[in-house]
Chains A and B, each alone.
Chain A
Amino acid sequence: MATERALDEFVTEANEILDQLAKDLFVLDQERGREPDPERLNAIFRGAHSLKGLSAMFGVDRISRLAHRAEDVLDALRLGKVPLDDRLIDTLIETLDMLQALLARVSQGTSAPDIEAGADHLQDRLGDLAKGRANAAEDLLDQVGLDPAMRSVFTEYEEHRLRENVKKGVGLWKVRAVYSLEDFDAQLAALNARLKPLGEVVSTLPSSQPGDEASIAFDLVFGSARPRADLEKALEGATLAPLTSRPAPEVTKVGRPLPPETSSPAPRPAPKWDETSASGFSPFPESPGSALRLAPDASLRSLTQTVRVDIARLDGLMNSIGELLLIRSNINRLAESARQVGTGVALPKLWGQELQREARALERKLDELQKGVLDVRMVPLGQVFDKLTRLMRRLVRESGKDVDFEVSGGDVELDKLIVEELSDPLMHLLRNSLDHGIEPPEVRRLHHKPTRGKIRLKAREQGNQVIIEVGDDGGGMDEARIRQVAVERGLVTEAQAQELSRRDLLNLVFLPGFSTRADVSEMSGRGVGLDVVKTNLQRLSGLIDIDSRRGDGTTFTLTLPLTLAIIRALMVSVSGRTYAVPLSSVMEIVSVRHADLKTIERREVFEVRGQTLPFVRLGRVFRLPEQPRERSYVVIIGLAQQRIGLAVDELLGQEDIVTKPLSGRLRAVPGVSGATELGDRRAVLVLDVGALMEELLRPQAAAS
């Protein structure tokens, strides 16, 4: 097996190929029934071809074999030997899913016995498809008055394109162009560019009747529906001769291009794939023959940690560094002149001014550099939205519901890390909307709603944050049911439940243990793993909020910081220890006298503008030695609708910090999301506000 590093490279590259394949197949899928763009088919073919070569090179046999079969089918398709029908598209999409699943296993270094069988099966089906039906149609090329010498050098693909052009009934021309040896490639490219809008250049060959010593002649076979006069204008010097000499057969009268099997008058042998479909395989992915079902917990996260970067952004970084080097040499010069002045002698005032100017320039450039590096980390949300769109199309088909899926804001950019981490929560929410939000068509009709449901995925930028909305126009949430379930599960008491505001009530669905998979369907509610979604978001310092109207649908709103890499934090100190609190979750800071504290059920609370909030001493949570104090600063932290006052000794100001994750062994430390270094290189812990709130609020609810 290849080394780990080589494997990483393989996974990265294979992933890129698969992403591109997915895009092309998606277009093909959307344009079902129309004649496919030959360029697109070629691109897909090349993708499968490269994947085959790549995986063979790295000894990933499993992928190589499947890609090989797919390549065979695509080659046959490209050459018109097999028709592009729904069955073929579905099989190709399935193959793509399978390749992605196999690649995921490779990257995890695990074997894939469970999907192995599916892959074998798929491989056989592809094999059957590739054999397709023999193209027994009378060779249309014989109708073309083509020089046999010329025809003999045609590739199979060129022959196929020529055949397609004959079928379309367009005029076929032979273009002879003579160009000077010096710039024939440019000239030829220009000619191609001029001809392209008018029709299809089937083949370009060096002419069998060469030109003189200093020039070279080409014969282009060109198919076009335009009149001769139009073409001659575009030729600029090349000569034109009609190719079709024999009368066109009746198929050329068909105005619209048709796939070969419908226009072919000749009887064909029984197609192989009919036999397989008779033995129980239907052309849709939900059939039992489907090789790969989407596991409910399948992740959409990409397999690699790489970011593709626009070279312009890197150039920008390079520039900043260049200017920093300039500043460095200026500072060096100043330092040198200070040294020469000697000790005990006052430095000239000018020197100080100059140093100050350089310091300011340094600061500006560093800011620029920081921004530049952050920019590099930014990727469009579209990367995830595309995957989600494909997934939703399939889920919608499998669900049998009638749903429109609208996506907008794919161009909004976010930190790569966040975009990756978002894919799973978003998938969860979308599935939720589809499974539990959108009612069956009959119910919708009953409520005078259009039978076709709507699910929206929208993103927009708002200041330093990105707002993502997942909404549906389904049945909405049932508050009474939520209240009932929450009380039954002991998450809140009856009395508490009655007092909760509408919003707080809705947010109960985010509590772990609010619902279990088994009884979701009976309570017709939502909340499948919503606690997981919330936890995921908290890791990203994001907020989630629900708005739901009975009968009108539900909208989840996710608020996320633009980047995780550098965040603004409030530095606080407790019992002499310093901690960083991400400013994004700090609502406000107040100073509270301990004499003003009250208790509710022996828990300390304080009042701020008429609102009573829990007063939590961070020192006690962290079991630090405590000194008696008269007053504390209270940092009010909030997540979704919940608020807590975190009591600390001192406020040390704000800092831009880079949060570093803690190593594997420390990942489980509660209430800490990472560490950062301060100016004196000391490590400072960054509080995990989400986890802290979770921890501090949960026992309260359970205890009551």
Chain B
Amino acid sequence: MSRFAELLDRFFYRPDEAVGAFLELAPETEALPEAAPEELPEEFLAFELAGETYAVPIATVREIQKVGDVTEVPRAAPNLIGLINVRGEMLPLYDVKRRLDLADAVPVVRSRKDVGRGARVVLVKDPEGDAGILVDRVQGVVKLNLSRLESAPQLGVERDAVAGLSRKDGHLYILLDLEQALS
């Protein structure tokens, strides 16, 4: 009779069926992964801007691109170089040099021809919408210890786009505060 019982079971509608089984599932979906221990060095992308070496956390970097066509956007923010097409997605390309006082003006870039050979677009993730920043050269990925972070010295210039400094193997890495740098 067990086969019939099964068939019959499927046949009858039971409006009073319990929800208990679902409830038991609930706590599992809420479990959160433990936060990683703090000591590990973090990975950063290092790049050059006017001869200085800057770095941003690798987790904030979406991809690195060669410079292609850039479309000028009239009446936009002064630090905007233009609009770039990343596989159908229209993203803004920003200049950060002027913000960091490394240049007097935002460069006019319309295509590959307007930039140096090493120049790249670093696409960064941002809650306000992903954006590209134009860099002179990409150095690579470095591991930096966040616990040994120096704050930037007072140099008489506004440096609020700098999150801190880090030294490794004799190199100085300036950590860029992306949010400030893009504003």
Residues on A facing B (Cβ under 8 Å): 1-2, 6, 42, 45-46, 49, 52-54, 56-59, 78, 155-157, 181, 185, 188, 204, 206, 216, 577, 621-624, 660-666, 669-672, 674-675, 677, 680-685
Point out the residues of chain A lying under 8 angstroms from B14, CB to CB: 155
| Residue in B11, B74, B76, B83 whose CB lies within 8 Å of A188 | B11
User: Which of A671, A674, A682 has most B Cβ within 10 Å?
Assistant: A682
Asked if B182 lies at the interface with its beta carbon under 8 angstroms from chain A, I say yes
- Whether, in the assembled complex, B90 has its beta carbon less than 8 Å from a beta carbon of chain A, the answer is yes
B90 lies within 8 A of A662 (CB): yes
Tell me if B170 is interfacial: C-beta within 8 Å of chain A: no
The winner among B71, B80, B126 for most chain A CB atoms within 10 A is B71
Residues of A within 8 A of B89 (CB): 660
> A206 touching B8 by the CB < 8 A rule?
yes
Answer whether residue B107 sits at the interface, using C-beta atoms and an 8 A cutoff. no
| Inter-chain contact B92/A49, CB cutoff 8 Å | no
The 8 Å CB contact of A622, one of B74, B83, B84, is B74
Do A683 and B85 have beta carbons less than 8 Å apart? Answer: yes
B15 and A157 contact, CB distance less than 8 A: yes
Say whether A677 contacts B88, CB under 8 Å: yes
A666, B16: Cβ atoms under 8 Å? no
Which chain A residues lie closer than 8 Å to B129 at the CB level? 663-666
CA distance A56 to B27 in the complex (A): 9
Q: Which of A6, A157, A623, A664 contacts B16 (CB 8 A)?
A: A157
Among all A-B residue pairs, the 3 with the closest Cβ atoms: A663-B129, A664-B129, A622-B74
Task: Give Cα distance in the complex from A57 to B25, angstroms.
Answer: 6
Q: Is the interface of A mostly helix, strand, loop or mixed?
A: mixed
Whether the pair A53, B4 counts as a contact (CB closer than 8 A) is: no
Q: Which residue of A lies closest to B85 (CB)?
A: A683
How far is the CB of A618 from the nearest CB of chain B, in Å? 9
Task: Report B113 CB to chain A, min CB distance, Å.
Answer: 14
Q: Are B71 and A684 in contact (CB under 8 A)?
A: yes
**Contacting pair B11 A57 (CB below 8 A):** no
Check B92–A666 contact: CB distance below 8 A: yes
User: Known contacts A53-B23, A57-B23: does B15 contact A666 (CB below 8 Å)?
Assistant: no
Q: Are B91 and A663 in contact (CB under 8 A)?
A: yes
Query: Measured between alpha carbons, how far is A206 from B12 in the docked complex, in Å?
Result: 11
A623: min CB distance to chain B, Å: 6
A78:B15 contact, CB within 8 angstroms: yes
Asked if A682 and B71 sit within 8 Å, CB to CB, the answer is yes
* B window 14-34: CB within 8 A of A: 14-16, 19, 22-23, 25-26, 29-30
B157 within 8 A of A: no
In the complex the two chains form, is A663's CB within 8 Å of B15's CB?
no
Given known A-B contacts A2-B30, A45-B15, A671-B75, A660 and B23 have beta carbons under 8 A apart: no
B37-89 interface (Cβ within 8 A of A): 68-69, 71-77, 80, 83-85, 88-89
Chain B, Cβ-Cβ closest to A623: B74
A56 and B128 contact, CB distance less than 8 A: no
Are the C-beta atoms of B22 and A622 separated by less than 8 Å?
no
Closest to A203 in B: B12
Instruction: Please tell me if B134 contacts chain A, counting CB pairs below 8 Å.
Output: no
Cβ contacts B98-129/A at 8 Å (1 or 0 each): 00000000000000000000000000001011
A438 to chain B, nearest CB (A): 44
Q: Across the interface, which residues of B come within 8 angstroms of A188, CB to CB?
A: 11
B15 and A155 within 8 A (CB): yes
Whether B12 and A664, one on each chain, are in contact in the complex, defined by CB atoms closer than 8 angstroms, is no
A selection of 26 A-B contacts at a CB cut-off of 8 Å is: A2-B30, A45-B15, A52-B19, A53-B22, A53-B23, A56-B19, A56-B22, A56-B23, A59-B26, A155-B14, A156-B16, A577-B71, A577-B72, A662-B83, A663-B91, A663-B92, A664-B128, A665-B77, A666-B80, A666-B83, A669-B75, A670-B75, A674-B90, A675-B71, A683-B84, A685-B73
B30 contacts A623, CB within 8 Å?
Answer: no
Q: B91's closest neighbor in chain A, by CB?
A: A663
- B22 near A57 (CB under 8 angstroms)? yes
CB-CB under 8 A for A662 and B8, given A78-B15, A669-B76: no
CB-CB under 8 A from A677, the residues of chain B are: 85, 88, 90
Q: A1 — which chain B residues lie within 8 A by C-beta?
A: 30
- B55 to A: closest C-beta gap in Å: 22
Q: How far is the CA of A661 from the CA of B91 in the complex (A)?
A: 10
By beta carbon, the residue of chain B nearest A157 is B15
Do A58 and B29 touch (CB < 8 A)? yes
Task: Kindly list chain A residues whose C-beta atoms are within 8 Å of the C-beta of B68.
Answer: 681
Report yes or no: A59 in contact with B30, Cβ–Cβ below 8 A: yes
Indicate whether B133 reaches chain A with its CB closer than 8 angstroms.
Answer: no
Closest chain-B Cβ to A86's Cβ sits at a distance in Å of 25
- CB neighbours of A59 from chain B (8 A): 26, 29-30
Task: Name which residue of chain A comes closest to B182, CB basis.
Answer: A665
User: Is the C-beta of B136 less than 8 angstroms from some C-beta in chain A?
Assistant: no
Chain B residues with Cβ under 8 A from A683's Cβ? 69, 71, 83-85, 90
Find out whether the CB atom of B15 lies under 8 angstroms from the CB atom of A185: no
Residue of B nearest to A206 (CB): B8
Across the interface, name the chain A residue whose C-beta is closest to B15: A157
Please, how many angstroms separate the alpha-carbon atoms of A675 and B88 in the complex? 10
- Minimum distance in angstroms from A335 CB to a CB of chain B: 25
B155 to chain A, nearest CB (A): 29
Apart from A577-B72, A666-B92, list 18 A-B contacts with CB within 8 A: A1-B30, A6-B29, A59-B26, A59-B29, A155-B15, A185-B7, A204-B12, A623-B75, A663-B128, A664-B129, A665-B129, A666-B129, A670-B75, A675-B83, A675-B90, A677-B90, A684-B71, A685-B73
Give, as a whole number of angstroms, the nearest-CB distance from A414 to chain B: 24
Interface centre among B23, B29, B84 (most CB of A within 10 A): B29
Q: Does B181 contact A (CB under 8 A)?
A: no
Q: Which residues from chain B contact A49 at a C-beta distance below 8 Å?
A: 19
Counting CB contacts under 8 A, is B131 at the interface?
yes
Most buried by B among A2, A46, A188, A685: A685
Tell me if A682 and B15 are in contact (CB < 8 A). Answer: no
Is there an interface contact between B130 and A663, defined as CB atoms closer than 8 Å? yes
Determine if B90 and A53 form an interchain contact, defined as CB atoms under 8 angstroms apart. no
Residues from chain B with a CB closer than 8 A to the CB of A2 are 29-30
User: Complex: how many Å from CA A623 to CA B78?
Assistant: 13
Distance between Cα atoms of A155 and B12 in the complex (Å): 12
Contact between chains at A685 and B15 (CB < 8 Å):
no
**A685 CA / B85 CA spacing, docked (Å):** 11
CB < 8 Å neighbour of A669 from B15, B22, B73, B131: B73
Scoring A181, A621, A661, A675 by chain B CB atoms within 10 A of each residue's CB, the highest score goes to: A675
Which residue of A58, A624, A680 is within 8 Å of B69 (Cβ)? A680
Q: Out of B4, B29, B75, B90, name the residue touching A57 (CB < 8 Å).
A: B29
| Cα(A54)–Cα(B74), bound, Å | 49
Residue of B nearest to A672 (CB): B73
Chain A residues, CB < 8 A from B72: 577
Given the contacts A155-B14, A156-B16, A669-B76, A685 and B30 also touching, CB distance less than 8 Å: no
Q: Is the CB of A685 within 8 A of B26?
A: no
Q: B94 to nearest A CB, angstroms?
A: 8
Residue of A nearest to B74 (CB): A622
The listed residue with most B CB atoms (<10 A of its CB), out of A54, A156, A665, is A665
Closest to A667 in B: B129
Complexed CA–CA distance, A6 and B25 (Å) = 14
